[in-house]
């Protein structure tokens, strides 16, 4: 097993814990969410290794970046990886339903929902772009307020926001 490195960075949606091995980013975790991640004792804190991803995240939050270029390493089952690859094909500012995602990977909505929820690299692998068939936001590891903030940043429309604006 390769040594792991970590860094915590600030963002408009709260602190993000980043973890990487010597080759690629492996984890983005919402520290303000319901389950903050504590780095394992053997992980090494090293901010310099994360300069590219923190710059790309800052550009994303500033509305200047739509696609990430840092190397990603996704650990999961073959099925999870197929779902995560499909997520990367959802264009910036667009959303699809769990049913549509399931159709794209040849599965069922519940299974893709579980894989979506296990995504270790949110934001960069845009699981926030998957919403309910009725336009509702549904679950999100960073919380629904974070999911809404990411979709609003990207200018994506969802039915829930249309209802809230109408009232």
Q: Which residues are catalytic?
A: 127
Helix (H, G, I), strand (E, B) or coil at 23: coil
Strands 25-30 and 130-131, how do they pair?
unpaired
Torsion angles phi and psi, residue 112, rounded to 5: -70, -30
Burial class (CB in 10 A: 0-12, 13-18, 19+), 76: middle
Rounded-to-integer distance, Cα 11 and Cα 57, Å: 8
Give the E-state strand segments of the chain in sequence order. Answer: 5-9, 16-20, 25-30, 44-45, 96-97, 130-131
């Amino acid at each position: 097993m390769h040594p792991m490195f970590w860094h915590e960075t600030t963002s408009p949606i709260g602190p993000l814990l980043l973890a990487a091995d010597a080759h690629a980013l492996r984890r983005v975790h919402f520290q303000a969410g319901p389950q903050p991640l504590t780095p394992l004792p053997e992980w090494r804190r090293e901010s310099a290794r994360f300069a590219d991803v923190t710059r790309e995240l800052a550009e994303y939050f500033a509305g200047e970046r739509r696609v990430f270029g840092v190397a990603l390493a996704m650990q999961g089952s073959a099925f999870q990886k197929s779902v995560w690859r499909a997520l990367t094909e959802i264009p910036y500012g667009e959303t699809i339903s769990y049913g549509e995602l399931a159709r794209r990977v040849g599965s069922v909505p519940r299974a893709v929902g579980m894989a979506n929820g296990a995504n270790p690299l949110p934001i960069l692998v845009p699981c926030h772009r998957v919403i309910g068939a009725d336009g509702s936001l549904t679950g999100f590891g960073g919380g629904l307020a974070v999911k809404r903030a990411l979709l609003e940043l990207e200018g994506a429309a969802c039915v829930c926001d249309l209802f809230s604006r109408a009232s």
